[in-house]
Amino acid sequence: MSMRYPAGFIRPGYDPLKNPDAPTIGTATGGDESAAVAFTAPSDTGGSAVSAYYAVSNPGGITASGATSPVSVAGLTNGTPYTFTVWALNTYGPGPYSAASGSVTPAAARGLFGGGETASSSQGQNVIQYVTIATTGNAIDFGDLTEQGDILGACASSTRGVFAGGVYLGTRSNVIQYVTIATTGNAIDFGDLTLARSGLASCNSSTRGVFSGGDNGSSRVNVMDYVTIASIGNATDFGDLLVGNVLLAACSSPIRGIFAGGLTSGGVNVIQYITIASTGNATDFGDLIDADYVMAGCSSSTRGLFAGGVSTNVIQYITIASTGNATDFGDLTTQRWALASCSSSARGVFGGGTTGSLTNTIDYVVISSLGNATDFGDLIDATRDIVACSNSNGGLA
């Protein structure tokens, strides 16, 4: 692609000796018809401060600007591979282009639901199914987990969905497995957790997945471990939850992972958080409206939602960047627990669960707008203790 600056950037006062240096390119992360292009600002900004950074796609020359990293580029074509270059602008004109990023392929926001217990598979199933989050409708078969099971943890990058732990035929598992979200097919072995357990919760950034809590068969644990989602291998110790906890819910922004509720000696209303990029113990965030467990959690990049539980159909929310207590958001279409949730940057989707009888209900909310959930469609089967992840969740923005 010919690198040309848009008209109007070379103007009176242009002085190449006072222009900024090139930014250092980072990682481009694909979204739905979009990509977020990360970079490091140049140490030499020239004769004045940088006023904006511009990311340019190849192919297409689609350009977007921003004041800081990352720059979000919209208007891309799903399924098309893109690379990106970035340049900086100051008062004296444009600086040179950075090197090109690695290739990234935007894809529609897709949510995966995996495992769980059905009426015909009381010890767990190996089914993975998917929905297109922006489009209501019933779930579609995706492929199979490596083993049948329920009460797993699940997280994702923009390309991979990762499932971990769970109960397989009555035995706690340490297996981590993954799928490529844009391509239907069976899961592949990834590595092992540091501790075999079920009822764990998971969150992620664009690069790292964190698995927290669970039950190892004899006790509730406070273990947190993590993987680099792009690199197959065993999990590494991250730190500890505040106390041993099982059946908690989780969500994330690109910076923070949030864990809420669960069972310790009883149901708890505690919300706690970690900084995903930095190993260490969890910190108190605030409280849920009520103590509850077996909820579902999802998020945009700024707002986290927790829904359902053993005693309520309430959806509640937090602002992820600001510690504090949860606030009422609205209600699910049906009261249920042991459900799962995934999200795009705009929608939260809640699937499955039970109130004594299993349900195949899927419903959704617009995360930025308080209100009750709306019917989305149905899972393939009525399922409880299911897990979910997506390629466009709040940790990836």
Q: What is the pLDDT of residue 87?
A: 97
User: Residue 120 burial (CB < 10 Å; 0-12/13-18/19+)?
Assistant: exposed
The answer to whether residues 174 and 166 touch, using CB atoms and an 8 Å cutoff, is no
Q: What is the pLDDT of residue 149?
A: 87
Query: Which homologous superfamily is 16-94 in?
Result: Immunoglobulins (2.60.40.10)
Q: What is the pLDDT of residue 26?
A: 94
Q: What share of the chain is helix, strand, coil (3-state, %, to 5)?
A: 0, 50, 50
Q: What is the pLDDT of residue 121?
A: 86
Average the pLDDT over 315-343 and give the result.
Answer: 97
pLDDT digits (tens, 9 = 90+) for 88-141: 999 999 999 999 999 998 888 999 999 999 998 888 899 999 999 999 999 999
The answer to whether residues 42 and 23 touch, using CB atoms and an 8 Å cutoff, is yes
- What stretch(es) of the chain map to CATH 2.120.10.80? 110-396
pLDDT digits (tens, 9 = 90+) for 192-226: 999 999 999 999 999 999 999 999 999 999 999 99
Q: What is the pLDDT of residue 9?
A: 63
Q: What is the pLDDT of residue 1?
A: 46
Q: Is 39 a residue whose pLDDT tops 50?
A: yes
In terms of pLDDT, which residue wins out, 124 or 350? Answer: 350
Q: What is the mean pLDDT of the chain?
A: 94
Tokens describing residue 110: 């897709």
Q: What is the pLDDT of residue 168?
A: 86
Share of the chain above pLDDT 90, in %: 85
Q: Is 303 a residue whose pLDDT tops 70?
A: yes
Q: Is 10 a residue whose pLDDT tops 80?
A: no
Q: What is the pLDDT of residue 200?
A: 97
Average the pLDDT over 251-276 and give the result.
Answer: 96
Average the pLDDT over 139-151 and give the result.
Answer: 94
The answer to whether residues 274 and 283 touch, using CB atoms and an 8 Å cutoff, is yes
Q: Is 169 a residue whose pLDDT tops 90?
A: no
Confidence of residue 5 (pLDDT cuts 50, 70, 90): low
Q: What is the pLDDT of residue 127?
A: 97
Count of H helices and E strands in the chain?
0, 33
> 310: helix, coil or strand?
coil
Identify the DSSP state of 29.
Answer: E
Return d(Cα 335, Cα 397) in angstroms, integer: 30
110-396: which CATH architecture?
A: 6 Propeller (2.120)
pLDDT digits (tens, 9 = 90+) for 46-60: 999 999 999 999 999
Phi-psi region of 309 (alpha: psi -120 to 50; beta: other; left: phi over 0): left
Q: What is the pLDDT of residue 13?
A: 61
Q: What is the pLDDT of residue 333?
A: 97
The string of DSSP codes covering 354-366 is BSSSB--EEEEEE
Q: What is the pLDDT of residue 91?
A: 92
The answer to whether residues 19 and 46 touch, using CB atoms and an 8 Å cutoff, is yes
Return d(Cα 211, Cα 200) in angstroms, integer: 7
Share of the chain above pLDDT 70, in %: 96
Instruction: Please name the residues in contact with 369: beta carbons below 8 A apart, sequence gap of 6 or more.
Output: none
The answer to whether residues 243 and 267 touch, using CB atoms and an 8 Å cutoff, is no
- What stretch(es) of the chain map to CATH 2.60.40.10? 16-94
In terms of pLDDT, which residue wins out, 290 or 148? Answer: 290
- Provide the whole-model pTM: 0.85
CA 259-227-202 angle, to 5 degrees, is 20
Return d(Cα 381, Cα 358) in angstroms, integer: 9
Q: Is 14 a residue whose pLDDT tops 80?
A: no
pLDDT digits (tens, 9 = 90+) for 307-318: 999 989 999 999
Confidence of residue 275 (pLDDT cuts 50, 70, 90): very high
